Amino acid sequence: MSQQPTLNMAGTEWHNIADFVERSTYRIWNEREVDLVARTYTPQTITHMDSGDLVGAAHVVEDTARALAAREGFRGLIDETIWTGNDRDGYRTSMRWTWTARNAGDPVFGGPIGRWIRVSATANCVVMGEHYVEEWKGWNPGARAAQLGIDLDTAAQLWDQASAGEQQPEGKPAADFGVRVPAIPERVDGAGELVQEHLTTLFGKGDADRVFHAYSNDAHLSVGTSRTYHHLAGIKNYVDDWLRLVPEREFRIDELYWLEDFNLDRVAVRWNLAGVVPTADGEREVSVMGINHVHVHGGKIVAEFAEFDELSLYRQITGR
């Protein structure tokens, strides 16, 4: 069994690393304490997204304030946090959460005022001291647009217009902040090894029949708030769709850690899938980052929660 991570954040206002991640998120979003962003992010923190990076606390403050102003009755619910590391080498955390709100004038898509939307996201963060020093955000703005009645093509045009000409300061990676906790531990075993082998076999080798070996009969796989695939046949359809969409691909796991428990092991994995998509006028190169939380019990996957940016993928396929 792998050595389990610690929780300690001694000498701070936070009880432990899970409390830091969850309570700072709650205060920033649910209590609209946007100034806390400036305390917990640095001027060089990079937030990586398929749609483009966001660098520095000031940009995160601006983005958060703009988002909250467009969402009435905002309510965020944290589903789970998985972590690894310690307060000496730094922590890596993966927090999955879901929020609901009424649209008060979406800053990108517009859409009907007063319409309720429900959006999920998973944030993988590197924490040193009381600061988020690097972050990867897995989410799907296309799901937000769809709930506002906006199709993917229109959403892509609006996204391009909103993001044009943005200037970002220079950021620095977590290692430059003194972080030493590895993205993938030197020894991968248990539930971590199962998930690593499973995803590599599915998407790296293209062996969709792996589904029948890895998942329990009643497993489910949720893709954000957009859709859920039930049982082995449904999950196999999800994998087949990926393999058909990107027949030539390379699959890479960039981050992997897990918490072991007698009843349920929980694995966080950040991945990248790059390849070539056939199109009507030839082919397009695409690259997709995703973050999954995988629940393992009795050597089988019983639940999986995947986040990736379908709008960014659509924009790449259409050549935007």
Q: What is the pLDDT of residues 16-55, one digit of tens each?
A: 999 999 999 999 999 999 999 999 999 999 999 998 899 9
Look at 261 and 71; give whichever has higher pLDDT: 71
Give dist(CA 211, CA 191) in Å, integer: 16
What pLDDT does residue 153 have? 96
**Edge-to-edge strands, sheet with 248-259:** 227-230, 215-223, 300-308, 282-297, 265-279, 248-259
Q: Quick one: average pLDDT of 147-151? A: 97
Strands 227-230 and 90-103: unpaired
The pLDDT of residue 62 is above 50: yes
What pLDDT does residue 225 have? 95
Residue indicated by tokens 């379908």: 310
What pLDDT does residue 280 have? 85
Look at 13 and 133; give whichever has higher pLDDT: 133
Q: Which domains does the chain have, with CATH numbers?
A: 17-177 (3.10.450.50), 190-317 (3.10.450.50)
The residues near 182 (Cβ < 8 Å, ≥ 6 apart) are none
What pLDDT does residue 281 have? 87
Residue 220, amino acid = H
What pLDDT does residue 5 have? 61
Look at 239 and 7; give whichever has higher pLDDT: 239
Band (pLDDT 50/70/90 cuts) for residue 163 is confident
What pLDDT does residue 125 have? 98
Residue 259 region by backbone torsions, left for phi larger than 0, else alpha for psi between -120 and 50, else beta: beta
Q: pLDDT tens, 183-196? A: 999 999 999 999 99
Q: Quick one: average pLDDT of 174-186? A: 97
Look at 11 and 88; give whichever has higher pLDDT: 88
Q: Quick one: average pLDDT of 140-165? A: 92
To the nearest whole percent, how much of the chain has pLDDT over 90? 89
Instruction: Please state the three-class secondary structure of the chain as a single string.
Output: CCCCCCCCCCCCCCCCHHHHHHHHHHHHHCCCCCHHHHHHEEEEEEEECCCCCEECHHHHHHHHHHHHHCEEEEEEEEEEEEEEEECCCEEEEEEEEEEEEEECCECCCECCCCCEEEEEEEEEEEEECCEEEEEEEEECHHHHHHHCCCCHHHHHHHHHHHHCCCCCCCCCCHHHHCCCCCCCCCCCCHHHHHHHHHHHHHHHCCCCCHHHHHEEEEEEEEECCCEEEEHHHHHHHHHHHHHHHCCEEEEEEEEEEEECCCCCEEEEEEEEEEEEEEECCEEEEEEEEEEEEEEEECCEEEEEEEEECHHHHHHHHCCC
Q: pLDDT tens, 300-320? A: 999 999 999 999 999 999 987
Give dist(CA 53, CA 46) in Å, integer: 7
The pLDDT of residue 3 is above 60: no
Band (pLDDT 50/70/90 cuts) for residue 1 is very low
